[in-house]
Amino acid sequence: KAGVTQTPRYLIKTRGQQVTLSCSPISGHRSVSWYQQTPGQGLQFLFEYFSETQRNKGNFPGRFSGRQFSNSRSEMNVSTLELGDSALYLCASRGEDRYNEQFFGPGTRLTVL
Amino acid sequence: AQSVSQHNHHVILSEAASLELGCNYSYGGTVNLFWYVQYPGQHLQLLLKYFSGDPLVKGIKGFEAEFIKSKFSFNLRKPSVQWSDTAEYFCAVTLTSGAGSYQLTFGKGTKLSVIP
């Protein structure tokens, strides 16, 4: 099976712009989660989608949003970018068995100038 | 609030030395525990996981971890490290809420540098 894929891998934006990141989960996985990784805060949970519905949301401002499509692919959007949004954004997918773990993609490195 | 603490920020070992990385969590209920590894330039990979049963869990590449419920700990061990174990290691706990949602809470990570 192919792993979790994320596009683009690298992105440079300026403050005030918005950005959309894309994630394709492992085939058959309906749960997709997003995490932000920074040197200072580590890995922080953004949100989880399952069957096109947001099931859980972390403690991030409303500028961070996401959605999931019927084929389980997911996008996250960050509007009005701030310098502090520079981070590695990781997508993870998971099967439905309760003993399944999350499988992570390579991430999108976002730099905000 | 749920939290995970990893005691060491950076550990430096010589090859063949033994490794133990500490992880403590704060959560009073039933937990699922994980150790993930991030090799330089690579994505997060699962080393091992604990859901229930034998508290001594064996993972890939010779790693193991012991769940001690009374200490809220899940320490990672390896008897003899190799240069290829140089990576960042993350302890994580599942935090579940209603409707079957799934969320991992991670520790800040421990960087391991193995000197040949």
**Tens of pLDDT, residues A51-64:** 999 998 999 999 99
- Check whether B103 has a pLDDT greater than 90: no
* Interval B88-93 mean pLDDT: 96
Mean pLDDT computed over A14-43:
96
Euclidean distance between CA atoms B116 and A53, whole angstroms: 49
Look up residue A22 and give its two tokens: 């894309």
**Of A44, A45, A99, which is closest to B51 when you measure between CB atoms?**
A99
User: Residue B39 has what pLDDT?
Assistant: 95
Q: How far is B11 from chain A (nearest CA, A)?
A: 17
- Most confident by average pLDDT, A90-104, B20-34, B56-70: B56-70
Closest CA to A15 of A72, A79, A69, A71: A79
Option in A42, A43, A48 nearest B101 (CB): A48
Total length of chain A: 113
CA of A41: how far to CAs of A77, B101, B103, in Å?
20, 23, 17
Across residues A5-16, what is the average pLDDT?
97
Q: Which two tokens stand for residue B88?
A: 């960042």
* Cβ neighbours of A48 in B, within 8 Å: 101-103
Share of chain B above pLDDT 70, in %: 95
- Nearest C-alpha neighbor of B2 from the set B108, B94, B110, B102: B94
- A53-57 and B45-50 strand pairing: unpaired
For A92, the closest chain B residue by CA position comes to: B44
Poorest-confidence range of A10-19, A34-43, A79-88, A98-107? A98-107
Q: Kindly state whether B70 is in contact with chain A, defined as any CB-CB distance less than 8 angstroms.
A: no
Question: B79 to chain A, minimum CA–CA distance in Å?
Answer: 25
Asked whether the predicted pLDDT for residue A104 surpasses 70, the reply is yes
Rounded to an integer, the average pLDDT of A28-49 is 95
pLDDT at B100 over 70: no
Mean pLDDT of B3-13: 94
- Give the list of residues 6+ apart from residue B115 with CB closer than 8 angstroms, or none: B12, B13, B14, B15, B83
Residue B30's pLDDT is 81
Mean pLDDT of B2-16: 94
pLDDT at B98 over 80: no
Residues A73 and A69: their CA atoms lie apart, in Å, by 5
- CA nearest to B96 within chain A: A56
CA atoms within 13 A on the CB side of B99: 11
What are the chain B neighbours of A94 within 8 Å (beta carbons)? 102
| Nearest Cα residue in chain A from B48 | A101
pLDDT of residue A100: 81
Q: Could you give phi then psi for residue B110, rounded to 5 degrees?
A: -125, 125
Q: Are B113 and B10 in contact (CB under 8 A)?
A: yes
